Amino acid sequence: MKIGFSRVSTSSQDHALQIDALEKAGCERIFLETVSGTRIDRPELAKALEFARPGDVLCVFALSRLGRNMRQIIDIVDDLNSREIGLHSLTENIETSSPTGRLWVNMLAALNQAETDILKLRTRHGLAAARARGRVGGRPRSLDDQKLRVAKALIAEGTLTVAEVAGQVGCAPATLYRALPGGRTAMGEQRV
């Protein structure tokens, strides 16, 4: 029996292309998963692997649908081989029923891993270059220097709680506590 497995990373992506290819390949049962390939807990993949019996073939649109790193893909292929279940990757046209097919799976998994590593490296270099030019990514600070001065003054008055002061300056109480280690007590000691 041919069993299909389709995975997309986000709900905004569509399974249609993969489903069409898996149906054309003759898959009688198709498992659909919407989760990142980097996640270890992939319930639909686990169901597909549990459903497969010796002599069956697990079909995927591409090896990258099984996992995002080499270790994940190789572990799955090894598990399938030990259970006498084949793997057929439609895009790469690879079947693991032969030693040559298993070799190609390992080589493509290694290339896939290298591509992922290079992408991460480029991203790190790009972020470092942006920081060197003074560009800082991420969420804007909710407590700038002016708001911090106002918060210190309000806390020093002693009429408002830290939560109320945080509401006045537009940040969370935890943000104030991080900016003012020791809270009200530290503010009182600074006034002396």
Strand 29-34's sheet: what is its strand order? 29-34, 2-8, 57-60, 86-89, 94-95
Q: Which residues pair with 5 in a beta bridge?
A: 31, 60
Contact 5, 61 (CB under 8 A): no
Tokens describing residue 181: 């280690």
CA angle 90, 112, 33 (to 5 degrees): 55
Q: Which residues participate in catalysis according to the annotation? A: 9
What single DSSP character describes residue 186? Answer: H
Pairing of strands 57-60, 86-89: parallel
Tokens describing residue 107: 């080589």
Contact 112, 96 (CB under 8 A): no
Contact 83, 75 (CB under 8 A): no
Q: Which residue has the tokens 């079947």?
A: 95
